Chains A and B, each alone.
Chain A
């Protein structure tokens, strides 16, 4: 038999002969749906510590490292966390040490949609009346279900110093930000998502949401 004949025979065997009864057709559809749901369900199981990329400014230039600490000299500091699973029903536990120097506030957020600065910052430091120069450690927990996930399953994380907004970022030359960041550790743990976050996740699938 020629290759062409084999091809035609296979296709007709699969699709042109009607299923002999309704039960077999139902079984095929159930298997297709069930297997897909099972595969998707299994992909939600992994959790644990995930790899983080280098901390960079918004132009992708890596911040200098001094004595095991990253010297952050601009208001925004970005890095990726390489997830191995979809973001649904997960939260990010971000642990790190930092030295705030003269920063007024320090916050961290995970990108939410295709707008490049769509971060809902979680403030982890507010300067007291007498600034402390010592290093301190903190752990921030951020639900991930409604966050933007790239095709390679990475998520964008941004440190934001001194409440910077998009408008105030235009004056980069006069940015006097200085703080130190050390030992960033990202862990993914289970989290029961809210209804709104789940809808957001489904909406992001239907809209084919991508980072711009």
Chain B
């Protein structure tokens, strides 16, 4: 997977976490804290994996 597509996945995950956060702010019962935490953690995990695998120096 190219760098651009990897970035799409990471941005998509963070976008989903953001949407979950907004929905939770409006109506906490619709998205549970557990679900939000899992998506948010997955976003950071994916970001870390992509950055570590990339050849680009940080």
Contact = CB atoms under 8 A, between A and B. Distances in A.
Pair from one complex:
yes
Classify chain B's interface size: 20 to 34
A9 to B, nearest CB: 5
A43 B18 CA distance: 18
A29 interface: yes
Contacts of B8: 19, 24-25, 27-28, 31
Interface in B4-58: 4-5, 7-16, 18-20, 23, 25-32, 35, 39, 47, 51, 56, 58
Where chain A touches its partner, the secondary structure class is helix
Contacts of B47: 10, 14
A13 B51 CA distance: 9
A153 interface: yes
Nearest to B35: A39
A86 B24 CA distance: 12
A24 B4 contact: yes
A30 interface: yes
B23 A35 contact: no
Contacts of A1: 58
A43 B32 contact: yes
Interface of B: 4-5, 7-16, 18-20, 23, 25-32, 35, 39, 47, 51, 56, 58
